[in-house]
Structure 1
Amino acid sequence: MHTVAVLALSQVIPFDLSTPIEVFTRTRLPDGRPGYHIRVCAEEPVVDAGAFTLHAPWGLEGIRGADTVIVPGTADPAAPLAPAVRTALREAAADGTRIASICSGTFILAASGLLDGLRATTHWLAAGQLAAAYPDIDVDPDVLYVDNGQILTAAGAAAGLDLCLHMIRRDYGSAVAADAARLSVMPLEREGGQAQFIVHDHTPTPAGSALEPILTWLRDNLARPLTLDDIAAHAGMSTRTLIRRFREQTGTTPLQWLHRARIRRAQHLLETTEHSVERVGAQVGFGSPTAFRDRFKRTTGVSPYAYRRTFSRPADTVSRA
């Protein structure tokens, strides 16, 4: 039986906390035995969980000896991390313990230094904040979860469920994971693969930064076949300086930022117009419908047609222009 320690810190998000407890508690092996033993651990005996308070039966010592540590999100991801928590997580990592975060719990792993040099995700609303605060982390806001082997991160509350099922499959195989998914009324593999549905109105833009004019220009010229040299020339910088400043201020490269902005604009058009997929692709700068479909699916995990079916607005609110 695997032991899972769920770490409840101050202002823990209740859903992020309850998800791994529910999923792992309900996991049964083929012979009916439970697959996991759960420990709810905290630095203090009583934890603020917003709508209620939690009395944790384990202190930080409950992390020792666990096979997996889950770090749920907290309402204040920028809050300083207690040294005792940092030490407990780092010692667990040194012992080879698998450590996973859900939503803003990624900030806790980042503050512990466990994500340095690794790819990670968090809720898309906080991805820019994470990238700015921890430039050594390769922040990917476009996926449900990232599995680095020992260290794993999930994007948001629902993605935390995907991540838990993924870990169950790693531990016990697809049949056990499929049973756990059915008990959770959740497909083992959601349509969309490992991709968040990004909301088009929240392209990370550091307000007031020196890059703001170039980001505005890029958004206004998404339909143009822009190259890195084009962007650097408009910005009056060398390509090396441009890439460095983009990484510092947006957490990504100019072309990655441009591709994501194009996909966000495409999402908006798919939601709010009846333009053909081919026309939408051309409007956001893709030279061929095939290239657009491939990029859209790699970014969101679904085809443009599937995205439109899921998110298009009622006919009377959709533009036909």
Structure 2
Amino acid sequence: MTASGRPLVVSTVVADGLVGSFGLGVAAEVFGYDRTAMGLPRFDFGLVTEQPGVVRTDTGIPITVEHGLERLAQSDIVTITAWELFSRVPTPQLLDAFRTAHANGALIVSQCTGAFVLAEAGLLDGQRATTHWKYAGELAARYPAVRVDPMVLYVDNGSIITGAGTAAGVDTLLHVVRREWGAAAANALAREMVVPPHRDGGQAQFIDAPVPDCEDDLLGAVLEWAAAHLADDISVDLLARRALMSPRSFARRFKATTGTTPHAWLLGQRLAAAEELLENSDAPVEEIARLVGFGTAAGLREQFTRRRGVSPRAYRQTFRAATLVGDDRAA
């Protein structure tokens, strides 16, 4: 990033009561230690706020912040953690400080809802960006000039990188290290942090997609039947017959009642059932594909990878391990 012998100035912007504790910890872990033995440069890491002094994290823990916004103008990397979306508006001074840092050539990195501050500053106009999947719709609604992608862990636009929620801050900052100082440095840091150097897939694998409630008694009974017979060859015609309706009328009523199509609903049910079996059973993928109605392992892999961003095997390795750890703790 710079060939000079001086330390790289890295600043993490925080605000009283809004300091994302996890995101702050990730930034401090990556930039707050001497990592030169791993191939990283020396860092001058510091926290920045509008009124230096004691500020509270989002968990109520007080921390002392020594630097004001003027430090951003001298920073090589500027990061911002989570931001409160509905009761705190970024001040003009904060927005100007980000614009100045960007104009001066700093790399700007947001974690989670910090992307809202960058969008408010106009730095994401016309660009692809991400944030926590839960707030991606809000980001798109507030800032229509931003192309919001809720499925990825981070988006690299060169001078601006936006990351998804919470633990995706690890992925985002490891990406910064990999991009700026090479894979060997990123891998060494990942080993030090005891995390994978790169996670496959994106946020889609972590999004809970419940099936909409159905208050239509007859239609609800049909859906309940279908959910219990996913291994069968279920067509719209078959569902319509069970609902005592024509296929066209059934499709219209289904969409009006559930907000989705019969095909999309069935696919969601089958994927959810596959996820449960991958997490909680040792059944091979071929058997899971048969049980949930995909027919073949290839069919399950194609749809699962397309919709969840990871293969069934990778999903099982991640969430089966988490389940086992939880069971061990409960024991």
Shift of 1:300: 3.6
SS of 2:141 mapped into structure 1: helix
Q: Which residue of 13, 20, 43 maps to 2:20?
A: 13
Equivalent residue letter for 1:141: P
Q: Tell me the TM-score normalised to structure 2 length.
A: 0.69
RMSD over aligned CA atoms reads 4.3
- Describe how 1:117-156 pairs up with structure 2 within 5 A: 117-156=126-165
Against the structure 1 CA distance between its residues 18 and 297, is the aligned structure 2 distance closer, same or farther, given a 3 Å change threshold?
same
Partner Cα distance (2:145, 2:291) in 1:
35
Name the residue aligned to 1:165: 174
- Describe how 1:73-92 pairs up with structure 2 within 5 A: 73-74=82-83, 76-78=84-86, 79-92=88-101
Q: Which residue of 108, 114, 124 maps to 1:115?
A: 124
% of aligned pairs identical? Answer: 39
Partner Cα distance (1:109, 1:115) in 2:
6
CA contact (8 A) 2:130 2:148 kept: yes
SS of 2:110 mapped into structure 1: strand
Partner Cα distance (2:38, 2:276) in 1:
49
Shift of 1:23: 1.1
Shift of 1:196: 5.2
- Is residue 2:196 matched to residue 1:187? yes
Q: Which residue of 31, 40, 43 maps to 1:24?
A: 31
Structure 1's unaligned 5+ residue stretches are 208-216, 237-254, 315-321
Against the structure 1 CA distance between its residues 140 and 258, is the aligned structure 2 distance closer, same or farther, given a 3 Å change threshold?
farther
CA contact (8 A) 2:38 2:188 kept: no
CA contact (8 A) 1:27 1:179 kept: no
Partner Cα distance (2:264, 2:188) in 1:
38
CA contact (8 A) 1:144 1:196 kept: no
Name the residue aligned to 2:240: none
- Is residue 2:56 matched to residue 1:48? yes
Give aligned pairs, total.
Answer: 289
Partner Cα distance (2:319, 2:109) in 1:
30
Per-residue Cα deviation, 1:153-175 (whole angstroms, up to 9, x for no partner):
11122111111111112221122
SS of 2:71 mapped into structure 1: helix
- Tell me which of the two structures has the higher relative contact order, counting C-alpha pairs closer than 8 angstroms and 6 or more residues apart: 1
Shift of 1:44: 1.6
Per-residue Cα deviation, 1:164-222 (whole angstroms, up to 9, x for no partner):
111112221122222222221222123x254553233468x9x9xxxxxxxxx9xx999
CA contact (8 A) 2:131 2:164 kept: yes
- Describe how 1:158-237 pairs up with structure 2 within 5 A: 158-190=167-199, 192-195=200-203, 197-201=205-209
Q: Which residue of 276, 296, 319 maps to 1:311?
A: 319
Partner Cα distance (1:84, 1:32) in 2:
36
Against the structure 1 CA distance between its residues 295 and 91, is the aligned structure 2 distance closer, same or farther, given a 3 Å change threshold?
farther
Shift of 1:140: 2.1
Q: Tell me the TM-score normalised to structure 1 length.
A: 0.71
Against the structure 1 CA distance between its residues 273 and 176, is the aligned structure 2 distance closer, same or farther, given a 3 Å change threshold?
closer
Equivalent residue letter for 1:92: A
Partner Cα distance (1:135, 1:282) in 2:
43
Shift of 1:297: 2.5
Shift of 1:136: 2.7
Equivalent residue letter for 1:199: I
Against the structure 1 CA distance between its residues 262 and 5, is the aligned structure 2 distance closer, same or farther, given a 3 Å change threshold?
farther
CA contact (8 A) 2:72 2:78 kept: yes
Q: Which has the larger radius of gyration?
A: 2
Against the structure 1 CA distance between its residues 28 and 295, is the aligned structure 2 distance closer, same or farther, given a 3 Å change threshold?
same
SS of 1:188 mapped into structure 2: coil
